[in-house]
């Protein structure tokens, strides 16, 4: 063995190569535990970086003028350097100008389509325009929505149901913590508008015979409360173009008063003396600001029914609306979010998931603050995902 020389034929071949001298090796010692306290010089840069990351300048968001998406202000730039490329944002057939009368013609925006109130542009849209290309998520690509008028944004839950042409089932409930959750799949049915009315407003003689309005509030309804009407939906929403405004019936309505008689019952307090605890020191039950509690509205409705009050019962179509290849579904179900009936899911050349994300990040946060849209949109995504998985397993 002393004369043996290893070669490639040996069963075990080891080749040793010198890398470093032993004096150049670094020996890692075990970490000390517990470690020493941080010095003031070490703490200062850590706190400084944290304060910079959570400062208002770092977390504040604004909308991009091209795509309308909420973006950090630090990622937005001015639009002066791309004024010559704004012609790429002109498009016909995707916008509408607001109308206040049926006599006014339907017009579109004849200039670059930009988000109202936004003056800067995000980095993604800026890169596309600099290259001479239209950004993928620009409003000109069928994603334009338009501003929501105040008369629509101030509508209550029951009022929104009345004006929507498609309604969803009772699938969203409120939990004890104040949030909301789904209790069933969202199924949509179209309202039989033509069976209810084909002309608006209804004749004055029918108002007292059929409809009953319950107003719960601290004071009698004012003239401004009575003047609120979603007439702008009929004038501007493409899904309501078949409804006719009966000008003859409208002329019979009083200009400075309500078309129906209003009975106002004044009460000193809304507390029940027999059911009030000795520790209850509040003057009245309920909230001082905001919407009236739903339990109080329900109590008023039950009282109206118990006194043989008249109501209008509205059914729905027997066949549910499809969630596939139906761009008009969401604009007809949420006319307060899509005031012009444009920009519905499926109108743009992007996937449904990206389109819903785009809507939820819209700069005015109308979709984020809506109580039903996020849950219903997410539920439809679940239904499509499970249906697709079922087809794959079946194949």
Average pLDDT score over residue span 58-81: 92
What pLDDT, on a 0 to 100 scale, did the predictor assign at position 359? 95
Share the mean pLDDT of the chain.
79
Mean pLDDT calculated for residue range 375-386: 89
Separation CA 141–CA 93 (nearest Å)? 10
Mean per-residue pLDDT, 295-317: 68
- Report pLDDT for 160: 83
Largest CA distance in the chain: 123
Which tokens belong to 335?
Answer: 């006319």
Instruction: Find residue 122's DSSP bridge partners.
Output: 76
Number of H helices, E strands in the chain: 15, 10
3-state class (DSSP) for residue 120: strand
> Is pLDDT of 310 > 90?
no
pLDDT of amino acid 311: 64
Condensed to tens digits (0 to 9), the pLDDT of residues 250-300 reads 788 877 777 776 766 666 555 555 445 555 555 454 444 555 655 666 677
Query: Of 181 and 238, which is predicted with more confidence?
Result: 238
What is the per-residue pLDDT across 146-160, written as a single tens digit (0 to 9) for each? 999 888 888 877 778
At residue 285, the pLDDT reads 47
Give me the mean pLDDT over the 81-104 stretch: 88
Higher-confidence position of 220 and 379 = 379
Considering only CA atoms, which of 168, 170, 213, 220 is closest in space to residue 191? 168
Once rounded to an integer, what is the mean pLDDT over residues 323-349? 90
Give the per-residue pLDDT at 197: 61
The model's pLDDT over 115-149, given as tens digits with 9 standing for 90+, comes to 998 999 999 999 999 999 999 999 999 999 999 98
- 356, containing H or E segment: helix 352-360
Q: Which of 315 and 106 is assigned the larger pLDDT?
A: 106
pLDDT at 271: 54
Lowest-confidence pick of 83-92, 185-194, 269-278, 338-347: 269-278
Q: How far apart are CA 165 and CA 241, in angstroms?
A: 12
Query: 69 - beta bridge partners?
Result: 362
Give the mean model confidence (pLDDT) for residues 241-248. Answer: 78
pLDDT on residue 292: 61
**Residue of higher predicted confidence among 39 and 228:** 39
Q: Which range among 123-127, 207-211, 306-310 shows the weakest confidence by mean pLDDT?
A: 207-211
CB neighbours of residue 392 within 10 Å: 8
SS3 of 238-257: the string is HHHCCCEECHHHHHCCCCCC
What integer pLDDT is reported at residue 241 of this predicted model? 81
- Better-scored residue on pLDDT, 19 or 56: 56
Which residues have a Cβ under 8 Å from the Cβ of 13 and sit 6 or more positions away?
6, 7
């Amino acid at each position: 063995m002393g004369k043996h020389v290893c070669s490639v034929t040996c069963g075990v071949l080891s080749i040793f190569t010198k890398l470093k001298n032993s004096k150049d090796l670094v020996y890692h010692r075990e970490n000390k535990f517990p470690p020493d306290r941080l010095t003031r010089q070490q703490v200062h840069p850590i706190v400084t970086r944290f304060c910079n990351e959570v400062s208002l300048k770092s977390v504040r968001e604004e909308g991009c003028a091209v795509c309308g998406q909420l973006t950090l202000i630090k990622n937005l730039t001015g639009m002066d350097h791309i004024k010559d490329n704004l012609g790429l944002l002109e498009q016909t057939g995707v916008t509408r100008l607001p109308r206040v009368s049926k006599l006014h013609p339907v017009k579109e925006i004849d200039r670059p389509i930009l988000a109202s109130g936004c003056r800067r542009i995000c980095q993604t849209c800026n890169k596309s325009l600099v290259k001479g290309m239209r950004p993928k998520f620009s409003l000109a690509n069928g994603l334009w929505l338009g501003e929501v008028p105040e008369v629509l944004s101030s509508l209550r839950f029951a009022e929104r149901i009345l004006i929507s042409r498609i309604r969803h089932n009772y699938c969203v409930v409120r939990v004890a913590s104040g949030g909301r959750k789904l209790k069933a799949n969202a199924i949509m049915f179209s309202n039989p508008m033509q069976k209810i009315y084909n002309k608006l407003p209804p004749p004055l003689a029918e108002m007292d015979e059929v409809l009953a309005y319950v107003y719960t509030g601290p004071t009698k309804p004012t003239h401004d409360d009575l003047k609120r009407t979603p007439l702008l939906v009929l004038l501007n929403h493409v899904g309501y173009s078949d409804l006719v405004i009966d000008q003859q019936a409208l002329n019979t309505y009083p200009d400075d008063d309500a078309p129906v008689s209003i009975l106002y019952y004044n009460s000193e307090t809304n507390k029940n003396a027999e059911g009030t605890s000795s520790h209850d020191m509040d003057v009245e039950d309920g909230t001082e600001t905001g919407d009236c509690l739903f339990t109080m509205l329900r109590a008023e409705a039950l009282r109206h029914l118990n006194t043989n009050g008249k109501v209008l019962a509205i059914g729905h179509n027997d066949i549910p609306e499809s969630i596939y290849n139906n761009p008009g579904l969401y604009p007809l179900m949420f006319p307060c979010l899509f005031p012009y009936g444009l920009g519905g899911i499926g109108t743009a050349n992007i996937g449904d998931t990206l389109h819903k994300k785009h809507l939820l990040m819209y700069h005015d946060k109308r979709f984020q603050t809506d109580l039903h849209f996020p849950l219903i949109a997410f539920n439809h995504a679940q239904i499509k995902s499970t249906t697709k998985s079922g087809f794959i397993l079946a194949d």
